[in-house]
Structures are given as C-alpha cells and as structure tokens.
Amino acid sequence: MDRAWWTKIPRNHPVYLSGVSAERLAIALDPLPDGAPAVVRLTPAAVRSFSHGVSWLLGELDRAAVALFLQWLPDADQLDQLSPTSLAAVRALAAKLAAGSPHFGPFLVELAVRAFRVNRGDVGVRPANQLGAEVRAAGLVRILAAAYRREYLVLFADMPGDLTPLEQRALAGAVGWICNHSGASVWLVGAKLAAVDSIPSLTIVLPDSVPWAADDSIVTMAEAAATFPAISGLPRADSPAEQALEQALKRHEWALARRWNHTLELKAIAEPYRVDLLWEMERLVVEVDGDDHRGRVKYADDRIRDVRLALHGYQVVRFTNEHIISDVATVVDQVKRLLFNRRKERTHIERHDDVQG
C-alpha cells in the first residue's frame, strides 16, 4: 500500500475520515512520518456559537505557538531571560525572521515577545487586541507548520458523541472558517456531525503496523485541549510531566547523554519507534504515559512496542504523568537506579567479552 496515506486527503478544508479511530490515527502519526504535515490534535470544546468556536480554536493554536516558541524563532534560546535588553533582542529576531519569510511582521513580533515573556514566567500576558482574527489564524498556522519544518498544518479532532445539533453546527462553522482564513486542513474522526451535511467523508486505510481494537468507541465530551507532536531532542512542549522530569534530571551529571523524543530505527521492525526518553549506551527507555495510553488501541500498541524493544536489548520503564508530577524526586531516584544497573550490566558484559577474547 502507499505509505503516504495522508496525501489522499484533500487539503485546506474539513474532511471526516471514515474507517479509522482517533487512537489509530495518532499512532500512525507518531513519530511524524517524513513528508507528513504538522498535526495539532484537538479535543473539541462544547462551543456555544460560531464566534465562540473560532475564539476557542485560535486560543488553542496560540497556546501551541507559545509553547513551541524556541522552535520557530532562531537564536531565541541564546537570550538571557533576565537581561533588560532581552525583549528588544526578541523583537529584533522576530523582525529579521519576518523580513525574510511570508510571516506578517507585526503579528510575528507581538507573538514572539509574548511567548518569550510567558516562557520566562511573566504572569497576566495576553494576546494583543489590535490584530484581527483572520491575521492571527493565518499567522498561527504558518508559524506552527514552520516549527516542525512541514509544508502545512492539520488540525485533527476526535469528535465526541454528545454534541447537540447547535454545538455541531457551531463547531463545523468554526473549523470551516479556520481552513478558509489560514490554509490549515481539518481532519475529523469519531462521531459524525449528524446536523451538518457540508463536510465530506473519506475512507482511509492506515499501515498494517497500526494495531486494531475490537471496540474503538466514540468519546464523550472532555476537557478541551490541544496536543502537538514531539520534537526530537526536547521534552514535549505540551507535557508538563516531561517538562518537570527534564527540570529534575538536568541537575544531575549521571543523567547526561539522555535523548528526549528520539526515533529508533531497528532491524526487523519496519516502522520507526519514537521513545520519550532514551539513554542509548545503556539501552534504557523511559516512557511518560498520559491519559491517551489508557485507550485499548494505544495500550495494545505499547505492549507490542515494549516486547520488540526488549528483544533488541532495551529495557523499558513506564511512569504516568500523575506519578511524575506528584513525586518527581522518587521517579528520578528510580531512573537513577535503573540506569546504574544497566551500566553495571554493560560493564560486566564487556569484561566477560575481554576475558573470552
């Protein structure tokens, strides 16, 4: 089959994807395949009106752009957050980026300064009101695609089964608006919008390596949120647990050589695996499991991955988000013990090989 399955999906407007669950689609997009679009996954809110839906979408895109600030503004990671000249430097970097790109200068400068302030811990920082919704939509979608070095952006939404007809029409209008004014594409899965007949359906076939479950049930309304792909070498920007674990680990010399969100290409396994945290020399993998790992398909995929990694000599240990956030010190201590045990095992094997040699 054609592995570039996403190329069969029309761009720049909403499409309902039939024959696939949100869990299976998320697995197929992790790690993000070469040539695929950048993807922001949404849990739809109970929007009360079209304008409320647009506001919610813009807010989620803005949150993602602020979190990924260091990925789309070159050299921003070199700035001293405490320096009195730092904000001027951010403005200069953003203006330079806009001058050599399709980005709209005033929008990019405002977003860069605000993102820098949020990331250094300033409170009460809000988007500027003078920029219109259309400008924000186009600018945010462009910047998120650029953060992942991808050609375009997809909003992938798992539709709950308990939306009222009014909520369905409001959400459909909002996603249609975001496509028209930003160039983004929207993929809808889950419950069909029975009250809306303007969104076409398309059946897609994912790679055989993506597992099935007997019952891919439709979700109900949950807390609205947006998640976005991991970037190799960094803890996920949308994961407080990964961020907390990195802050704790970076204080320890024994934790050096760790690699966040690294993609492993292993012999005899056709699909690459992205692991949350890796010490390659010791072949220790630490996985940080959020709520999405509780789904039947994701749970099955995790077990398959763990066994295959073990067969290739990797030890896999899993911690939940809640465990890390509530007791990061204990998690760090357990990781240290595991890492030291792996180092002892490796030393023992190397000494044995030297004796045999």
CA atoms within 13 A on the CB side of 254: 13
**Has residue 224 got a pLDDT over 50?**
no
pLDDT band at 64 (very low <50, low <70, confident <90, very high): very high
Q: What is the pLDDT of residue 274?
A: 94
Burial 10-22 (b: 16+ CB within 10 A, else e): ebeebbbbeebbb
**Between 355 and 297, the higher pLDDT residue:** 297
Domain boundaries, the chain: 10-227, 240-356
Stretch 191-215: mean pLDDT: 85
* Bond before 44 cis per omega within 30 degrees: no
Q: What is the pLDDT of residue 294?
A: 79
CATH topology of domain 240-356: Endonuclease; Chain A (3.40.960)
Distances (CA, A) of 298 to 26, 177, 295: 9, 32, 5
CA atoms within 13 A on the CB side of 295: 22
Express each pLDDT in 283-321 by its tens digit.
999 999 988 787 888 888 899 899 999 999 999 999 999
Q: What is the pLDDT of residue 44?
A: 82
Cα R_g (the chain), whole angstroms: 22
d(CA 71, CA 68): 5
pTM here is 0.84
Whole-number mean pLDDT of the chain? Answer: 89
